[in-house]
Amino acid sequence: MTRSFDYAARPATILFGPGRRTEVAGAMERLGCRRALVLSTPHQAAQGAALAAPLGALAAGTFAGAVMHTPVTVTEAALAEARRADADCVVALGGGSTTGLGKAIALRTDLPQIVVPTTYAGSEVTDILGQTDSGEKTTLRSPKVLPEVVIYDPELTIDLPVAMSVSSGLNAMAHAAEALYAPDRNPITSLMAVEGLRALRDALPAVVASPRDIDARSTALYGAWLCGTVLGAVAMSLHHKLCHTLGGSFDMPHAETHAIMLPHTIAFNEQAAPELLAPAAALFGGRLGVGLWDFAAALGAPMRLRDLGLSEEDLDRAAEIATRNPYANPRPFDRGSIRKVLQAAWEGARPPV
Ligand code: NAD
């Protein structure tokens, strides 16, 4: 086989392992930083404070106001706190929402970021930032927003509720599945994608059975790192486009929407890219779309868009919005075929084998 590909490694430092959240101070020192602004959501304010406490004076301020979709108004409030604290870096503890706030601050100030992820969303290893201004969501890619240091401590995911763990894990798996047929894929991203899927396939049932099992949590977070890394490295296609549409225009929750859509978008694309998806399909009984559906159902994942409050009439508009602009996808599609994919996900139908 003749090979031709581009490979660009993203310059981030990853520290992985139970208990490693105590290494924030060391990471700050290596970055030459002395005054961190510690970020979290209101819900995780106590976890943020627990991370900040041992930092002493190195934690110059805290901002526990991160929310979903990175609204510019929240970023401005956090920037004011960063100025007040004279911060020279941000430490973001949380899921994609808190990571997004740290990235939004870095975009505007160039402050270095240390991210301590507590979900499987993967934002911490991408150069992608989605922001909302007056209800409109825009996405950009910039090296400025790629966090410098990521500290993965599975102990911080022990209390991630099982339902969120499942949805967030499937959200991560979606990055890996689409990376396998990305037009700019390369051998390294494909290896990482399959390994990420394998790790989450093994870990999620164990997390559901025993949420405090640190080995299962560790394997899930390891998978999330791999899946996030490929999200940051290659272009995403139909699946991410549809989820972006459903989140941006219909206010559907991020991880749950990914979880529901994944088997349907992959079943649709599998017909056009069976060889590229074969290593992943082998992990799920030979067919990836239906295999992921069975996997998600066994985990108790959300299975139907209708259960998220989307009306059947919304599907027409979603199909129209998602097909307005062309983008790379292994299987050609039009409004009609996308409408069918959405219908199947709305009903929660098992994809055909
Ligand atoms: P989230 O960050 O919004 O978290 C959801 C809720 O769970 C929050 O209240 C949070 O505080 C709580 N939570 C998180 N971890 C917890 C834990 N361990 N224990 C208890 N509670 C916990 O959810 P998410 O799915 O991680 O992130 C979604 C957001 O991230 C979306 O806005 C999405 O667009 C963005 N995102 C961006 C990228 C990117 O590359 N730019 C990638 C993935 C997701």
Strands 113-117 and 128-133, how do they pair?
A: unpaired
What is the distance between the alpha carbons of residues 212 and 195, in angstroms, rounded to a whole number? 23
What is the distance between the alpha carbons of residues 37 and 241, in angstroms, rounded to a whole number? 33
pLDDT of 352 above 90: no
pLDDT of residue 264: 98
pLDDT of residue 9: 85
What is the distance between the alpha carbons of residues 169 and 286, in angstroms, rounded to a whole number? 21
pLDDT of residue 39: 98
- Tens digits of residue pLDDT in 144-181: 999 999 999 999 999 999 999 999 999 999 999 999 99
pLDDT of 135 above 90: no
Write out residues with Cβ below 6 Å of ligand 1: 41, 43-44, 68-69, 94-98, 100, 118-119, 121-123, 126, 128-130, 156-157, 159-160, 164, 168, 231, 254-255
Cβ partners under 8 Å of residue 63, min gap 6 = 37, 38, 39, 40, 77, 78, 81, 82, 101
Distance 258 CA to ligand 1 centre (A): 13
pLDDT of residue 53: 98
Residues 37 and 62: beta-carbon distance below 8 Å: yes
- Tens digits of residue pLDDT in 328-345: 999 999 999 999 999 999
Strands 13-16 and 36-39, how do they pair?
A: unpaired
More confident residue, 212 or 132: 212
pLDDT of residue 115: 98
pLDDT of residue 10: 82
pLDDT of residue 194: 98
- Give the predicted TM-score (pTM) of the model: 0.97
Nearest CA to ligand 1 atom 27: 96
pLDDT (mean) for 266-282 = 98
Q: Residue 144 class from Cβ within 10 Å (0-12 exposed, 13-18 middle, 19+ buried)?
A: middle
